[in-house]
Amino acid sequence: MTAYIVRRLGLILLTVLIASMVIFIATQLLPGDVAHVILGQFATPAAIENLREELGLNRPAVVQYADWLARFVTGDWGKSMVSGYAVRPLVLARLRNSFMLAILAFSLYVPLGIALGVVAAVNADRALDRALSALTMTFVGLPEFVSGLILIGTLALSWDLLPANSSISPDSGFLEAFPYLVLPAIAISLTCLGYVARMTRASTIDALRSDYAMAADLKGLPRIQVLLRHVLRNSLLPTVTVVAVSIGWLFGGLIVVESVFGYPGLGRLLVYGIQHRDLTLIQACSMVVVTIFGFANLLADVLYGVLNPRIRFSQ
Amino acid sequence: MDKSTSQSEGQTVLEIKGLGVIYESEKGPLETVRDVSLKIGRGEVYGLVGESGSGKTTLARAVVRYLPRNGRISSGSVLLNGIDLLHLSPVEMRRVWGAKIAMVHQDPSAAVNPSLTVGEQVAEVARIHLGLSRGPAWQKALEMLAKVQLPDPGAMARRYPHQLSGGMLQRILIAAALITSPQLLIMDEPTTSLDVTTEAVILDLIRDLLKDYETAVLYITHNLGVIANVCDRVGVMYAGRLVEEGSIQQVFKHSLFPYTMGLMGCVPRIDVVRRGILLNTIPGFIPRPGEWPRGCIFAGRCPIVEEACRDTPMPLVEREPGHLTACRRWTGMDRVQVAFGIKDKVAQEHHPASGSTWLEAKDVKKYFGTGSSWLTRALKRRSTSVRAVDGISLRAQSGATVGIVGESGCGKTTFARCVVGLEQPTAGEVMLDGKRLGSTWAKRSPEILRQIQMVFQNPDASLNPFHPVGTSVSRPIMLRSRLSRSELDLQVRALFRAVRLPEDYTSRLPHELSGGEKQRVAIARAFAASPSVIICDEPVSSLDVSVQASLMNLLAELQSSKETTYLFISHDLAAVRHLSDRIAVIYLGQIVETGSAESVFAPPYHPYTEALFSAIPIPDPDVHRERIRLRGAVPSAAHIPSGCRFHTRCPRNIGTICEDHEPPWQDAGDDHFIQCHIPFQQLRAMQNAKADRHAVQVRAQA
């Protein structure tokens, strides 16, 4: 088990490392010179050369990367190229807001997705299953900006149940922000809800058809006990992985949804950074998202190992 | 053992009356079981035997009302101690399951929940049906584990299924089934997925356990030997119908239904049949549901069929006390004997060319590394390698068959893959006609590749599902020679004729063929290259007995006409003996005994061969043999025991010498070698003593 966790951790650190290279190459090394970006298209060659020297852009790429990575790991995320403020406090504050939104969305779609999946599986190939399948497929296929707009149009504008705009003060507390979180949370949840429900359905159907489910039935155990102890205990294992991977999609979805609702989170900050070509900001935001994604996967692997005796008991 | 008298005394526990089952399919309703009636008394073991597709499992599922959603019971009744189960509600059925009817399933590793401890899976039954709370239920479960002879029940109960072998898991399932002392126990092929040695131990256990319980048992299997060893009465199922029923003696000794007689002749007998004799076969196929004939269900394949048989269906009628048959011509059974081909039973004279060694393996080894990643190695501080094949040398003469036999995990398949070049041996070499071969297929010339062909166990996996089977067979011919389309077609058709397949099958896709037909295609493909050596890796194990028989006959005939050398690999000792000239017995990657087929199966035996031999259930109720049983499963090839690698399970272990020293090869004469510490004179003396004891017993019984 220890070996398993260590191996997984190593793999995820490697993934993050490779992602950091891609981010660095995409932002700093590709054509579209950083000094040009900062100084604008009318800058003199001499000014650009000076800035390049100052930013260390004339050094070999590998040295630049190592320097950047070392500073990033030690907490020096640089200064915004647009505003000149330190990037780290800004990113972390917005990360907190995104977390509030993500946690609400997560606690909406995980239980609901699993429940829908199980209900569909138990009624496999019946009318209810078909209806649920159609519904979840729609959720999966519907982009967040469309579902977000539909939600705003109905729940907010037509029925006036919830605020249509979530552009609250960036340092609001959770309770204060709650009414503004509901609509964006639902909008992000739908896609993940669809995925979780469909995966749960598939693995639960497999488990229901297994010999051990038949054996449990023929032991005369009550149906609910067969379902909980024998079927779900095994069928939810793959779901755990899907749920963890969905955290990645969740943060991807944030970028769109936060923009639609004007919510001051990490996604909106990233979009702002891209619009203003603020490379330091883009790097920091991307690295945070990549790291969260990686550790969500680590969490999935560890949980899977803990729940699966075949991994737990291999020395 | 002879409990055949007990059936009349015990009251009837299960009574099935006129049961019919229908499956809804795309083609409309398909009848899979029709009008089956039978009774099982208290303490009686009723065997239900039949080939795949005969409806025996469907019948069992109908009895417990656990049919798939598209299946329904169309007629009849199922009475358990007088109560009609078909009238119970689903909730009431759940109170019957586990408490009154328990079931043991075919594949134990699939029938246990991988996420719960095995003890818990036994104890939960006690909690539900015996009303015990957690502690007492666990205690009761431990008692049951002791009863099914699992060592150290306390520790065993806390283990998870993946930590136990198949045989141990089957004991767990038996414990869970018997914990409530059910009125009826249904066992559906409980030993089919196990090794013969494990099967023998589990069958002993079942027999012994059932003495303590008053349970009525419905025992389903395709294996006639198992039926003869475990059951009191037997019912033979064919195409959804019960065609014969009687005591073991009646059905095995003077059967009254032609199909049963045919089936008996299909099985190679380890104790009777010798090389060069063809097995009985039953021509034709089991009629599929929806294609059942109007009259007798067996009429299409029956050698003594008459017009009346085809017109009117025949019910099961009691013709002798306790012996029922659905054959109207039951008095003419002696003619069936003749008709099923005893007249041309002897194959063409078989003379393997002596002297010339054609295929030779020299000290072939194949080790697989485990924990090969640097991290695992760093954490474990040692790496273990799996010694799958650990120095196998053997020779096969031109046109002869060398049989390789051993339990699963002994390395026989890995060895075969080394010979054909699918695996690169860690050490050793393979020679063909005196020439050294490249270590993998990539290093061998097309000519060599052509000369060594292989027939795999599973024809579903070895035939390309998108190619017509004729194309699959034509490929090796194209490898050998440039032919025009029509010439090629001619050759393919000739091969199809040779393996007894209709010529128009060439354009069919694999899924349109039955399992036996697919394996015929695979054999045709192997012969298409005109090879000098064919490696048959369990070629018949996945097939029904009647199909097995015809394929083994086919292999024997093709060999005698084409002078091909076979390496015949199987766990089935009877099949190996039936086809082989020489036999090598393998244990944990090494040969422990080798010799001619006659000498390996005549004393003195290696203790392992003796145990394998003794484990095989013989389809004859009159043959009683001394039980020699092996403890536990084959040790992992990653941790091979010291000294003689068999010493951990050897019933004739003679102490420290076995544990410390590798045993010497002993020459038993006549090219027969045994690797054992016990001198072969002594082994021979043991066998003679055993034969004497047996003779005394037989006399005492008389």
**pLDDT category, B382, cuts 50, 70, 90?**
low
> Looking at residues B217-244, what average pLDDT do you find?
93
Cα separation, A181 vs A101, whole angstroms: 6
Q: Is B105 on the interface with A (CB under 8 A)?
A: yes
**Domain residue spans in chain A?**
102-279
The pLDDT tens digits for B105-161 are 988 999 999 999 999 999 999 999 999 999 999 999 999 999 998 989 999 999 999
The residue type of B545 is V
pLDDT score for B702: 56
- Using a 10 angstrom Cβ sphere, with 0-12 exposed, 13-18 middle and 19 or more buried, the burial of residue A250 is buried
pLDDT score for B342: 46
pLDDT score for B174: 95
The pLDDT tens digits for B300-337 are 888 888 888 898 888 899 999 999 999 988 887 877 76
Residues of A in contact with B162 (CB under 8 A): 309-310, 313
Mean pLDDT of chain B: 86
Residues of A in contact with B66 (CB under 8 A): 214, 217-218
pLDDT score for A173: 80
Nearest Cα neighbor of A243 from A98, A104, A100, A114 is A114
**Contact yes or no for A211 and B114 at CB 8 A:** no
Residues of B in contact with A218 (CB under 8 A): 64, 66, 97-98, 101-103
**pLDDT category, B2, cuts 50, 70, 90?**
very low
Mutation for testing the A interface, residue in B80, B94, B115, B159 having most A CBs under 10 Å: B115
Of A257-266, B350-359, B372-381, B571-580, least confident by mean pLDDT is: B372-381
**Contact yes or no for B97 and A3 at CB 8 A:** no
**Closest partner CB to A309 (pick from B162, B373, B379):** B162
Q: How is residue B163 annotated by DSSP? A: G
Q: Which residue has the higher pLDDT, B64 or A49?
A: B64
pLDDT score for B384: 64
CATH superfamily of B357-584: P-loop containing nucleotide triphosphate hydrolases (3.40.50.300)
Residues of A in contact with B379 (CB under 8 A): 2-3, 6
pLDDT score for B566: 93
pLDDT score for B700: 65
> Looking at residues B179-183, what average pLDDT do you find?
94
> Does B578 have pLDDT greater than 90?
no
* Architecture of the domain defined by B6-115+180-253: 3-Layer(aba) Sandwich (3.40)
**Nearest residue in chain A measured CA to CA from B67:** A214
**Closest partner CB to B379 (pick from A3, A214, A237):** A3
**pLDDT category, B23, cuts 50, 70, 90?**
very high
Q: Which residue has the higher pLDDT, A312 or B600?
A: B600
> Looking at residues B528-532, what average pLDDT do you find?
90
**pLDDT category, B338, cuts 50, 70, 90?**
low
**Domain residue spans in chain B?**
6-115+180-253, 116-179, 258-318+328-342, 357-584, 602-701
pLDDT score for B78: 96
The pLDDT tens digits for A136-170 are 888 888 888 888 888 888 877 788 777 777 777 77
Residues of B in contact with A214 (CB under 8 A): 66, 105, 111
Contact B594, B202 (CB under 8 A): no
Pairing of strands B323-325, B241-247: antiparallel
**pLDDT category, B698, cuts 50, 70, 90?**
low
- What percent of chain B clears pLDDT 90, i.e. is strictly above it? 41
Q: In CATH terms, is domain A102-279 a member of 1.10.10.10?
A: no
pLDDT score for B248: 94
pLDDT score for B533: 93
**Contact yes or no for B96 and A308 at CB 8 A:** no
Cα separation, A138 vs A132, whole angstroms: 10
pLDDT score for B8: 44
Cα separation, B223 vs B574, whole angstroms: 13
Cα separation, B693 vs B435, whole angstroms: 51
pTM of the predicted protein model? 0.83
Q: Is A8 on the interface with B (CB under 8 A)?
A: no
Contact B396, B357 (CB under 8 A): yes
B107 vs chain A: nearest CA distance in angstroms?
Answer: 8
**Nearest residue in chain B measured CA to CA from A2:** B379
- Check if B6-115+180-253 and B357-584 are the same fold: yes
A2 vs chain B: nearest CA distance in angstroms?
Answer: 9
B143 vs chain A: nearest CA distance in angstroms?
Answer: 18
The pLDDT tens digits for B664-679 are 998 888 888 999 999 8
Mean pLDDT of chain A: 85
A315 vs chain B: nearest CA distance in angstroms?
Answer: 9
A231 vs chain B: nearest CA distance in angstroms?
Answer: 9
> Does B77 have pLDDT greater than 70?
yes
**pLDDT category, B64, cuts 50, 70, 90?**
very high
Cβ under 8 Å to A: B residues 148-207: 160, 162-163, 173, 176
**pLDDT category, B5, cuts 50, 70, 90?**
very low
pLDDT score for B352: 53
**Contact yes or no for B113 and A234 at CB 8 A:** yes
pLDDT score for B307: 87
> Looking at residues B459-488, what average pLDDT do you find?
88
DSSP structure string for A119-144: HHHHTTTSHHHHHHHHHHHHHHHS-H
Q: How much is the ipTM here?
A: 0.82
**Nearest residue in chain A measured CA to CA from B125:** A219
**Contact yes or no for B110 and A212 at CB 8 A:** yes
**Closest partner CB to A2 (pick from B113, B162, B379):** B379
- Tokens 């026989």 sit on residue: B412
**pLDDT category, B262, cuts 50, 70, 90?**
confident
Q: Is A42 on the interface with B (CB under 8 A)?
A: no
DSSP structure string for B308-358: HHHHS----EEEETTEEE--TTGGGHHHHHIIIIITT-BPSP--PPPS-EE
